[in-house]
Amino acid sequence: MISCKKIAVLTILGLLVYSTNFAQTIKLVNPILSGFYPDPSIVKVEKDYYLVNSTFSYFPGLPVWHSKDLKNWQQIGNVISRTSQMDFVGERATRGLFAPGISYHNGLFYVTCTDIDHEGNFVVTAKNPAGPWSNPVKLTQVKGIDPSIFFDEDGKAYIVYNSDAPNNKPLYSGHRTIKMCEIDAIALKTIGEEKIIVNGGVDITKKPVWIEGPHILKRNGWYYLYAAEGGTSVNHSEVVLRSKSVWGPFVPYDKNPILTQKDLPDDRKNPITSTGHAQFVEGPNGKTYAVFLACRPYTGDYYNTGRETFIAPVEWQDDWPIINPNFKEVQYTYSANYKEVKQPNALPQSGNFTYKLGFEKQLDPALTFLRSCDSSSFSLSKTAGLTLKLKPETLMDFGVPSFVGKRQQHLFCSAETELNFSATNHNEKAGLAIFQNENHFYFLSKSMQDEKPVLQLLKSNTDGKTIEVLASTTLEGSAKKVQLRIDAKGEYYSFLYATTSNKWVVFKDKVDGKFLSTHDAGGFIGCFFGLHATGSATKTNNTASFKYLKYTGNNLFYK
């Protein structure tokens, strides 16, 4: 029986016209996760989608996202949420956890990942993707990065990953391989010997570099091995090979790459670059989509938001997948014929948005610490907000400073807070930072100089040891409270303060933002706005309180 609620039958000039009353459309807005959310891996379980990202040396590690529609995402937890699982003390901000892979089989979620400096490759499991996740189990035979588990139809499981050249003798710089071995998904141990299934890349005679981020998909009797190629900068791309056997041989698609932006004009408007590290997933409409990383530079190859998570449709042509099939440029929006399902109480992650975080009971899961969580160094309350103890660690150190960070998610945005703090000497400082790494940050801080309260704008030096004072002013009166704000304007930052509520004074304008770009700072991460307090070179019981953290992002080209 056909329900009359779904189909209306109209008679017009003797013709039958059928119309769908409840046709649904959704607009997917890129990036779907704005800011430093790189290396996405995604899995669909029934009608739910779960996605994880790299976090490098930030803690908690590996955010877990949930969605019903691939557009509206809510962070439901973190894979590495306990210091007993691991921490990253002593590691640079751009080390730590590299690309994770999430999968699901027989009621259990799996995440594989690489702790590049300490644990190596490992796997964790959970029955609920929100957590708790198990302690890491080391995969000692898996030598390399970017591990991903594939479950075949016969129940066997395989782990595929980036590894070194054959016999560890590269033919050229960037020569890598994709290796695979079977894995016991219950005992969490590899089985048998690993095998090279891709050497170098699509065509080793052309010296392809950094084949990485591999995944396997089975469809219509074919095993598809797809991976990133070309490095993580502007030459980043996605390629695909296929075989009738999970062990290969894998034959490359003659129209590779299936996704890249490297050949497009440099002067195009609002460019998206560095696309790759993709994973396929079936959408709510039964069609295939790819999530992948990409960058939004404000000029050239300069961007401060890091590598972000994007989405694009996939079209299958002659049993080969093509990402973004109808366009050369990755689009900022795509329309699809299925229903949008919003996430209640979720912070927005795409398009233009603003929100204000309070600190009454718990920290939002998107907020992060550096390297580990020192629960003794902060407290939360309705009256004071977030109170940080002044610790001797600074942002230049590789320890665990008093720091709570929130990602910069737009090229044009602002972050502000209200600080309640009185320094007792010139070493005590508290305020709002914009942080890229230990050698590349600005710190708008309240301190003391000549026994008077002062506001200072500090800039890290690339030697990792010294700080430059870019601006300083004496704060009149004895009030402890001051509002602080940092505005990002593409390649510039502006620093503002207010001693009277919301009456902002420009403290320092047009400060060099390229200093904080991945291009200049190096590594794989993006910028964070950070609430920070330090009692450098002193032992102190002093504290600093932050009433709120407000964020506003407005990229003008979003509609």
405-435: buried (b, 16+ CB within 10 Å) or exposed (e) per residue?
A: bbbbbbbebbbbbbbbbebeeebbbbbbbbb
Residue type present at position 409: Q
Asked if residues 368 and 528 have their Cβ atoms less than 8 Å apart, the reply is: yes
Could you give the 3-state DSSP secondary structure of residue 465?
Answer: coil
Q: Where are the alpha helices (DSSP H) in 387-542?
A: 518-521
Peptide bond into 31 cis (omega under 30): yes
Closest C-alpha among 545, 370, 379 to residue 441: 370
Cα angle for residues 504, 508, 510 (degrees, 5° grid): 110
Residues with catalytic annotation? 39, 212
Q: What 3-state class would DSSP assign to 416? A: strand
Question: 474 to each of 51, 447, 478, how far by Cα in Å?
Answer: 47, 10, 11
Q: Please, are residues 211 and 178 in contact by the beta-carbon 8 Å criterion?
A: yes
How many residues belong to the chain?
559
> Is residue 70 within 8 Å of residue 342, measured between CB atoms?
no
For 278, half-sphere exposure in the C-beta direction (CA atoms, 13 angstrom radius) is 34
Residue 238: closest CA among 268, 270, 265, 210: 210
Task: Please name which of 261, 311, 308 lies closest in space to residue 28, comparing C-alpha atoms.
Answer: 311
Q: Residue 175 in contact with residue 198, Cβ under 8 Å? A: no
Q: Which of 200, 61, 32 is nearest to 136 (CA)?
A: 61
Whole-number Å distance between alpha carbons of 142 and 163: 8
Contact status, residue 64 vs residue 55, Cβ threshold 8 Å: no
Q: Which burial class, exposed, middle or buried, applies to 372 when counting CB atoms under 10 A from its CB (0-12, 13-18, 19+)? A: middle
For residues 61 and 97, is the Cβ–Cβ distance under 8 A? yes
